Amino acid sequence: MSVSARMMLVLTVVGVFSGLSLVYMDKYAEPYIALHKKEAVREAIDKVLPGVDKVEEVHRDETVIYRALDSSGKLLGYAFLAEGPGYQGKIQLMVGVAPDLRRLTGMEVLESVETPGLGAKITESSFEEQFRGLEAVPAVGYVKAGRKPAPNEITAITGATISSASVVRIVNEGLNEVRRVVRAGPPDCETEATIKWKGGKK
């Protein structure tokens, strides 16, 4: 067998082995990744809707919302994942809203690749805390630093207005979709599923 033939054989074996290894590792890691994501969602819900004891995961079409209940079964509000483009890339949020859908209970940035030192400040608690108790009707807005915000407005980060505006837009778009789902009434058993799981702090 020639040297080139041996090299081709070795490369083929290595390629096949590497491919199979990647497939195996992907299958092996898949349930752990899913579990990690689920735990991250639970922690985020706890943050944006304090006092949660149980969550009902409601599916309608492509939308998923989380009905948050306290230990007595009282509805505390709704939480939802929302995402959209920012200045640099995708921004993903977990947002909490009161049962009447007129006031936010909290917001946490779960994923962001905004500019370090500027847009990345949307992940800081000082920015996220502005959304706690924020009025959401007629819509969430923002003002630039130096101006007094209205009850439904947050103050944009200086030098990162685009990132701040992106978060506001994503929140409003997510709220509109949640309102559509909630106003449509109880889940249709033929097209939706409600899954109960334990959340909240022990």
- The 10s digit of each residue's pLDDT in 22-68 is 666 666 556 655 566 677 788 889 999 988 888 888 888 778 899 98
Phi, psi of 103 (to 5 degrees): -145, 135
Q: What is the mean pLDDT of residues 71-97?
A: 92
Predicted local confidence at residue 201, as pLDDT: 46
Q: Is the pLDDT of residue 134 over 90?
A: yes
Contact 193, 167 (CB under 8 A): no
Give Cα separations from 177 to 85, 114, 121, 147, 196 (angstroms): 17, 25, 26, 30, 21
Higher local confidence (pLDDT), 159 or 197: 159
Q: Mean pLDDT for the chain?
A: 83
**How long a stretch of residues is the chain?**
202
Per-residue tokens: 78 = 């709704």
Q: What is the pLDDT of residue 189?
A: 44
The lowest-confidence range among 54-63, 95-104, 127-136, 186-195 is 186-195
Would you place residue 153 in the very low, low, confident or very high pLDDT band (cuts 50, 70, 90)?
Answer: very high
Q: Which of 30-44, 77-91, 96-110 has the lowest mean pLDDT?
A: 30-44
The band of 202, judged by pLDDT with boundaries at 50, 70 and 90, is very low
User: Percent helix, strand, coil in the chain (nearest 5)?
Assistant: 40, 25, 35
Task: Tell which wins on pLDDT, 84 or 39.
Answer: 84
d(CA 48, CA 44): 6
**pTM (two decimals):** 0.76
What 140-144 contacts at long range (C-beta under 8 Å, 24+ apart), as own/partner pairs, is: 140/104, 140/168, 140/171, 140/172, 140/175, 141/168, 142/168
Which residue stretches of 56-187 are H helix? 125-128, 161-183
Q: Is there a contact between 50 and 199 (Cβ–Cβ < 8 Å)?
A: no
**DSSP class of 155:** E
